[in-house]
């Protein structure tokens, strides 16, 4: 079930936090930057994975750290041009592939809940009206709470449990 909430996704009680990035992303904007600041080893592991696996847009990468929720990085954006360039735009086809992979991963791993922002609508420049139906299509039938943080409010814990009962 998809539940829209307002709050700080880093305070989520969900088992996995999902976010969108580009292959070999620098994690220097938005939620990715906040994740880098909170769990710097995750970014080191992500860079190692990118270097050894050469992933493409449309793939996902899941990370589990000590005393941290699982973090799922969805490669929804075009890679940066060169080592210092900014990631390119997101594409709905990449979001679609990533969400399908996320749903498969969540089922396989028996994930109890997910939290995600309005994927690919910030740095990725997609319109929410194009992304929301894809989230509903791929994650709406998982049978677990999927908290979509539609409004970011720093330092505010969203009422996830209360929202789930609604």
Structural domains of the chain sorted by starting position, each given as residue range(s) with its CATH number in brackets: 2-165 (3.40.220.10)
- Determine contact, residues 17/8, Cβ cutoff 8 Å: no
pLDDT at 111 over 80: yes
Range of lowest pLDDT (20-29, 81-90, 92-101, 118-127): 81-90
Task: Give the Cα-Cα-Cα angle 127, 130, 136 (nearest 5 degrees).
Answer: 125
pLDDT given for residue 158 in this prediction: 94
pTM: 0.92
Question: Regarding predicted confidence, which is higher, 89 or 16?
Answer: 16
Residue 62's beta-bridge partner residues? 72
């Amino acid at each position: 079930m998809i539940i829209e909430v307002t709050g700080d996704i880093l305070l989520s009680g969900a088992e996995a936090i999902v976010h969108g990035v580009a292959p070999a992303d620098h994690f220097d904007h938005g939620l990715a930057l906040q994740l880098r600041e909170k769990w710097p080893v995750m970014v080191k592991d992500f860079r190692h994975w990118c270097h050894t696996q050469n992933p493409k847009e449309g793939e996902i990468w899941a990370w589990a750290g000590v005393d941290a929720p699982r973090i799922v990085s969805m490669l929804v954006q075009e890679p940066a041009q060169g080592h210092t360039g900014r990631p390119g735009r997101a594409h709905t086809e990449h979001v679609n592939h990533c969400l399908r992979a996320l749903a498969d991963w969540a089922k396989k791993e028996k994930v109890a809940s997910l939290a995600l922002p309005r994927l690919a609508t910030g740095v990725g420049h997609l319109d929410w009206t194009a992304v929301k139906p894809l989230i509903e299509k791929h994650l709406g039938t998982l049978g677990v709470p999927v908290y979509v943080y539609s409004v970011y409010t720093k330092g505010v814990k969203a009422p996830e449990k209360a929202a789930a009962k609604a």
